[in-house]
Amino acid sequence: MIKKVGVVGAGTMGAGIAQVTAEAGYEVILIDLEDKFVNRGMENILKNWSKAIKKGTLTAKEVDQIKVRLTGTTNYDNLNDCQLVIEAVVEKMSIKKELFAKLDDICPAETLFASNTSALSITELAAATKRPNQVIGVHFFNPVPVMKLVELIPGAETTAETVTAMKEYCSAIGKEAIVVKESPGFIVNRLLIPYINEAAIIYDQGVASPAEIDQAMKLGANMPMGPLALADLIGIDVCLMIMEYFFDEMADSKYRPALAFKQKVRAGHLGRKTGKGFFDYN
Ligand code: CAA
């Protein structure tokens, strides 16, 4: 029975996961390498709760009760009594594997491990632990408090019990879970990231400006936001990383990354998080 959840990585996704998990009644440990990352994640969560109080979706009393369940820390030993640990750290296989091997030593044998990876192989991540049967992909979408879907991705050795436990967790936090066979990008990113990449290629070719490309998709296809604003929301570095992974994994030229992604990443213009991407946020 899951009661206490560890979330490793206090960035946009990790903070969102910690927020919705605490709101659902779980005890939550939000962890990152440095205090400044933990503090930023905690501040973002507190901002969302202040907005919720203003909107009337939560009362101040409810927020006080939820806050007590959420602890931010840099001490990994605090994860030693969690029944579930979800990692939302940087999208690098080597870093995630190292983390899982470390968690394997800290957490009890029954703890489930989940990865919020947006594309990487769960089987490969699970192989870094001595409990590959208890490792699963749990892919959330940005902004986590708003987006209803979670993709659940069992690896080669993930058991049905692990999948069932994660379905229960997703339902408890108010998300709709879809179980997806392991494959690059699962369902959503396999479709979404090549679409965003094509928008960046259109921009590279001078077909239209970023504002026009986005307006076209909003007015012509009823998208809630245009593909290039979405690239800025996701992070252009993340979009590039996913396209490069598709290109390598599927050895198919149709997944070649747009030059605009590469140029913007080289310039440090990663989207909203740096204040500039296809659009300027300053
Ligand atoms: N955190 C919490 N709540 C947020 C939020 C955030 N970061 N951003 C928006 N919201 C809430 C707002 O408070 C508002 O709530 P109420 O309706 O209760 O007032 C609601 O969402 C709508 O927001 P806005 O009115 O500000 O703006 P909007 O109607 O344009 O919606 C949006 C914003 C939800 C982001 C919408 O534009 C949208 O759905 N965009 C597409 C997002 C998307 O495709 N996400 C998936 C990205 S892919 C991914 O994440 C996976 C990956 O691995 C890369």
CB 19 within 8 A of CB 42: no
Tell me: the pLDDT tens digits for 16-53?
Answer: 999 999 999 999 999 999 999 999 999 999 999 999 99
Closest-CA residue, ligand 1 atom 52, reads 118
Section 193-200 average pLDDT: 98
**What is the spatial distance between Cα 13 and Cα 139, in angstroms, rounded to a whole number?**
10
pLDDT for position 157: 98
Atom of ligand 1 nearest to the CA of 238: 54
Please give the positions annotated as active site. Answer: 118, 139, 151, 189
Q: What pLDDT does residue 239 have?
A: 96
State pLDDT tens for residues 230-253: 999 999 999 999 999 999 999 999
| Nearest protein Cα to ligand 1, atom 34 | 146
Taking residues 253-270, report their average pLDDT.
Answer: 98
Cα separation, 132 vs 142, whole angstroms: 27
Locate the ligand 1 atom nearest the alpha carbon of residue 51 and give its number: 13
pLDDT tens figures, 126-148: 999 999 999 999 999 999 999 99
User: What is the Å distance from ligand 1's center to 236 Cα?
Assistant: 18
Question: What pLDDT is recorded for position 160?
Answer: 98
pLDDT the model gives residue 127: 97
**Which protein residue's CA is at the shortest distance from atom 31 of ligand 1?**
224
Q: Which two tokens stand for residue 262?
A: 């590469």
Whether ligand 1 lies within 6 angstroms of the CB of 224 is answered as yes
Which of 12, 57, 146 has the most ligand 1 atoms within 8 A of CB, as the residue to mutate? 146
- The helix or strand, by DSSP H or E, that contains position 161, with its residue range, turns out to be helix 160-172
Q: How high is the pLDDT of residue 34?
A: 97
Residue pair 255/246 in contact (Cβ under 8 Å)? The answer is yes
pTM above 0.85, yes or no: yes
Q: Which atom of ligand 1 is nearest to the CA of 141?
A: 50
Question: Do residues 177 and 147 lie in contact, with contact meaning Cβ atoms separated by under 8 Å?
Answer: no
Degrees (nearest 5) of the Cα angle 227, 230, 236? 100
Residue 119: predicted pLDDT: 82
